[in-house]
Amino acid sequence: MWSSLGIRQKVFALFSVIALLPLVVISIIWLRSTHDQLKQAAVNRQNILLSSSAQRLNDALETEINSVITHSQESSVTGLNIDQAKINLMQYANQDSDVLRITLVDNNGNEKIVINNHEFSTSLNNIKSSEEFKVVSQVSNEVSVSDVIYTNEQPRIIIAVPLLSFSKLGDQNLTSAEALARRFGSDVKGALIVDISLDNPFQSVLTSEIGGDGYTYIVDAEGQLIAHPDPELIKNNANLSSVNQVSRFLAAPASIEVPSVTLSEKNSEVLSSHYRIKRTGWAIIGQEPINSIYAPYNQVVRLAVFIIIFAGIVSTLLSLLFSRNLTRPIRSLMAGTYQVAQGNLDLQIAKESKDEIGVLAERFNTMTGNLKQMITNLKTEGTKLNVVLNSVGEGIVATDSLNHVVFANISAAVLAGQLPSDLTGKPFKQIFTLSKNNTPFQVDPNSTEITKEVVFISPNKRLHYLDIFVNKIENDPDGIKNIITLRDQTDERELEMMKLDFVSMAAHELRTPLTAIRGYLSLLKTDANSNFSNNGVQSIERAQSSTDQLAGLISNLLNVSKIERGSLNLSYSKLDWVKTVREALDGHKFSALEKQVTLLYEGPTESVPLLADEISIKEVINNLIANAIHYTPENGRIIISVREEGDKVITSIKDSGLGIPANALSRLFAKFYRVKGGMASGSGGTGLGLYISKSIVELHKGKIWVESEEGQGSTFTFSLPSYNEVQYDELVRTKDMGVNKRRGWITKNTAR
């Protein structure tokens, strides 16, 4: 995502991040701090107001209750001295503006004095059945405080105190609490019942505002609403026990509540808590709307948003100005690179500054100059390469991944009988229809070896013999995957065949006079009328030996000619290889005795069947044994061993002779090759024996190799395929059809 943006967008994004991110972080920290401070201030404010309001209300109730208790303990009141009690109680009513009604009754519930709205009432009744009288007449009760009663929307309570006598002289001087603790049931003489207005105490609580829109209200120990700023709730005699904060108070009335966020009685979110009135068990519920608490916070948020927007506008303007100045030379470079890509290498970018972009423009101009020179050089080199490719004798063809021709030099085009441009885009196999060993041949693009003697018939019907080499190309921009080299060996092959024809013809022509010479020498040697001296007989024998050597050379030359022409035919038959090897050893027994060389055989004694041409394979074993005897000194030893390994029969001829130099081992089986140095002395060989032996073994689908070290002797080893019954049955079938070609071998005095 980031990499796909332009520089101007990136500059704008970076400016925004640099300018706005710190501001946003600071604003978030500031807003969070303000939020926490406002909440803590509201909590502290609510705690202080509720505790002070609860204390005032509790003090007011305590004052009224203690005042009633005090007046109930006056002697005129406890002694029911009506005249004096009237005076004292009227003074009490005039001194306390919250006193609405005072009633003095005896222990039978008969009203003795009634003061209503600061006037004596003449209507006296028996109130023995009233709740207040019943409560105070019980021994277990001390002071009775009624529930809040609303009359004409004014709250009031009734405080009833029993009239007591004391069991001891002087008890009248005790405090009210101590005196009440010492009374007995027979001490209750009546009761003083006072109606107290709660309008002033409640107003002092209800008019205390919490914050801007917060308020307080009062509930009793049952959750009944007894004071609220909303008169309608009072009229409806609402029970708020289901309200969150009230239910918390009812669940734990003695606890001190920490302000928390709850739902109010009007189902709005508020910060609320409660405070218990000790004297009555009521609770003051305080609550402040959340939106009221955080009203300053919202103002701060608006201010922070305004600052962020303002900073964003400023950063946008600055980023646009900066990016414009930054991207103008870059856009110029972009336009320049486009023109260079279109081939305009003469373009020069104007350098507008000395900063990095100016340096970039300068180097761009240098690069275009270098690129122009490089392309010129490449064109020159390309021309040279084309000249070279078109001047080489080998055909060179470049192909793509589908093996279609991408390029072909003149030699390849001449071979195909077409123009080079006509070959481009065509499949290689469509242009060059190849065969090898009379079967269709396809070029393997994965092969790294030279494939020889591949036949191609050109459009002019000429037969070509090709050596094909494939070279793989990796990651070529032009899509070239392979370079195929076609080396036409037709002329060389024809020249070689001419040489073979000449050798074959010369050998045949030499055999006729040579046969005559050998015949005449034999007649001279055996003619009884010939009267030759000993020297003359020796000369005739030397001449015979020389003619035998020449006959062997001619036979070898003829054999080589047949091998290289491929006209050497083998007649396979089933042989007993152990018997064949032993017969070969017997045949060389006398020549070995002459040199005092020991011949040994190691291997199986039972028959080892083999499918081979008997004459030619005997020539191989005889040639190797003769060589071993020739190069083994007197009193030496030669071991011929035979063993079977898997599907092959291995035959080794190991001698204790002079050994072969290491630099000669790789060329030992080459045609006409003879080892230089001490091994060549006294050797009359032609250098064809090992070449012919190798050719015969390979025609039998076997292998031949040598292991040797100078002064330690040599070991020649060759392997032949084991006998195969299926092949033998096929051979018998072929013979039955009359196909059976045989040929003879004559090799003498062969050498390595």
Q: Residue 62: what pLDDT?
A: 87
**Farthest CA pair distance, the chain:** 212
Q: What CATH homologous superfamily does 569-676+683-736 map to?
A: Histidine kinase-like ATPase, C-terminal domain (3.30.565.10)
Find the radius of gyration of the CA atoms of the chain: 67
The Cα 413–Cα 416 span in angstroms is 5
| pLDDT of 529 over the 60 cut | no
Per-domain boundaries in the chain: 1-165+187-314, 392-488, 495-558, 569-676+683-736
Q: What are phi and psi of 597, to 5 degrees?
A: -105, 130
User: Could you tell me whether strands 439-441 and 154-164 are parallel, antiparallel, or unpaired per DSSP bridges?
Assistant: unpaired
Q: Residue 184: what pLDDT?
A: 45
Better-scored residue on pLDDT, 144 or 715: 715
Residue 224's nearest CA partner among 245, 212, 239 is 239
Instruction: Spell out the residues 6+ positions from residue 237 whose beta carbon is closer than 8 angstroms to its own.
Output: 224, 225
Q: What mean pLDDT is predicted for residues 270-287? A: 87
Q: What mean pLDDT is predicted for residues 41-56? A: 85
Reported as half-sphere exposure (CB side, CA atoms, 13 A), residue 499 has a value of 8
The Cα 731–Cα 737 span in angstroms is 10
User: Are 241 and 225 a contacting pair, CB within 8 Å?
Assistant: no
**Class of 392-488 in CATH:** alpha beta
Single-letter amino acid code for the residue at 117: N
The Cα 77–Cα 67 span in angstroms is 14
| pLDDT of 489 over the 90 cut | no
The Cα 673–Cα 692 span in angstroms is 12
| pLDDT of 473 over the 90 cut | no
Q: Kindly report which listed range (124-138, 215-229, 269-283) carries the lowest average pLDDT score.
A: 124-138
Q: Kindly report which listed range (197-201, 533-537, 638-642) carries the lowest average pLDDT score.
A: 533-537
Q: Residue 745: what pLDDT?
A: 45
Q: What is the mean pLDDT of the chain?
A: 80
Write down the pTM of the prediction: 0.42
Q: Residue 1: what pLDDT?
A: 63
> What are the counts of helices (DSSP H) followed by strands (DSSP E) for the chain?
21, 26
Better-scored residue on pLDDT, 420 or 580: 580
Q: Kindly report which listed range (112-121, 564-573, 592-601) carries the lowest average pLDDT score.
A: 564-573
Q: What is the pLDDT of residues 143-184, one digit of tens each?
A: 888 888 888 778 888 998 888 765 433 444 444 444 444 444
Residue 744's nearest CA partner among 630, 629, 618, 658 is 618
Q: Residue 743: what pLDDT?
A: 44
**Where in 220-317 does DSSP place strands (E)?**
225-227, 260-263, 269-276, 283-289
Angle at 589 between CA 584 and CA 594, to 5 degrees: 145
Q: Residue 183: what pLDDT?
A: 46
Q: Residue 582: what pLDDT?
A: 93
- 612: helix, strand or coil: strand
Report how far Cα 120 is from the mean position of its chain's Cα atoms.
102
Torsion of CA 404, 406, 409, 411, to 10 degrees: 0
Q: Residue 102: what pLDDT?
A: 92
The Cα 315–Cα 10 span in angstroms is 13
Residue 587 token pair: 């045949």
Report how far Cα 683 is from the mean position of its chain's Cα atoms.
73
Residue indicated by tokens 């059945």:
129
At the topology level, CATH places domain 495-558 in Helix Hairpins (1.10.287)
| pLDDT of 369 over the 90 cut | no
Q: What mean pLDDT is predicted for residues 452-471? A: 84
The Cα 396–Cα 390 span in angstroms is 9
Residue 618's nearest CA partner among 504, 746, 465 is 746
| pLDDT of 347 over the 60 cut | yes
- The two domains 1-165+187-314 and 569-676+683-736 share their CATH topology (first three levels equal): no
Query: In CATH, what number does 1-165+187-314 get?
Result: 3.30.450.20
- pLDDT level of residue 279 (50, 70, 90 thresholds): confident
Instruction: Measure the N-to-C terminal CA separation of the chain; round to a whole number of Å.
Output: 77
User: Are 333 and 361 a contacting pair, CB within 8 Å?
Assistant: yes
Q: Residue 742: what pLDDT?
A: 41
The Cα 168–Cα 597 span in angstroms is 163
Residue 153's nearest CA partner among 221, 230, 94 is 230
- 737: helix, strand or coil: coil
Instruction: Spell out the residues 6+ positions from residue 643 whose beta carbon is closer than 8 angstroms to its own.
Output: 603, 604, 649, 650
Q: What is the pLDDT of residues 500-528, one digit of tens each?
A: 666 666 666 666 677 777 776 777 777 65
Better-scored residue on pLDDT, 486 or 385: 486
Q: Kindly report which listed range (94-108, 140-154, 421-435, 554-568) carries the lowest average pLDDT score.
A: 554-568
